[in-house]
């Protein structure tokens, strides 16, 4: 009976962990100022896309670092570019906001 309870508990726990991993990331649309995390912000070792978004309510600026560079020379590594729209998914890792981009446009 004890073994059966242990087995049932292990099964329940593994199903819960699987459900947590299966949760899909929410797609977000962000508009902000595009820049290079190395050249403009000094926050990266190599040129990496970054998007700074200002909260309209409290004025707080959040910096999203891209997981993959898209349109780097066009919008990101030539100073700053205002009004860049990015669609993708966001995750927090080691205190940083990481943005996996799907589309990058200026508009």
CATH number at residue 73: 2.40.50.140
Tens-place pLDDT, residues 27-68: 999 999 999 999 999 988 998 999 999 999 999 999 999 998
pLDDT band at 3 (very low <50, low <70, confident <90, very high): low
Q: Is residue 2 one of the residues assigned to a domain?
A: no
Q: Is residue 32 one of the residues assigned to a domain?
A: yes
How does DSSP classify residue 60?
-
Domain count, the chain: 1
Q: Is residue 3 one of the residues assigned to a domain?
A: no
The answer on pLDDT for 98 being more than 80 is yes
What are the CA-CA distances from residue 45 to residues 37, 38, 40, 48, 61 (Å)? Answer: 9, 6, 12, 8, 22
Q: Which domain holds residue 93?
A: 26-106
Report which of 105, 19, 36 is spatially closest to residue 77, judged by C-alpha positions: 36
Q: Is residue 5 one of the residues assigned to a domain?
A: no
């Amino acid at each position: 009976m004890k073994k059966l309870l242990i087995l049932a508990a292990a099964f329940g726990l593994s199903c819960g962990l699987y459900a947590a991993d299966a949760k899909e990331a929410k797609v977000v649309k962000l508009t902000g100022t595009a820049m290079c995390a190395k050249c403009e912000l000094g926050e990266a070792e190599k040129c990496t896309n970054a998007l700074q978004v200002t909260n309209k309510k409290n004025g707080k600026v959040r910096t999203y670092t891209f997981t993959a560079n898209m349109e780097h020379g066009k919008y990101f590594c030539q100073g700053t570019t205002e009004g860049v729209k990015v669609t993708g998914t966001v995750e927090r890792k080691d205190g940083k906001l990481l943005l996996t981009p799907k589309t990058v446009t200026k508009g």
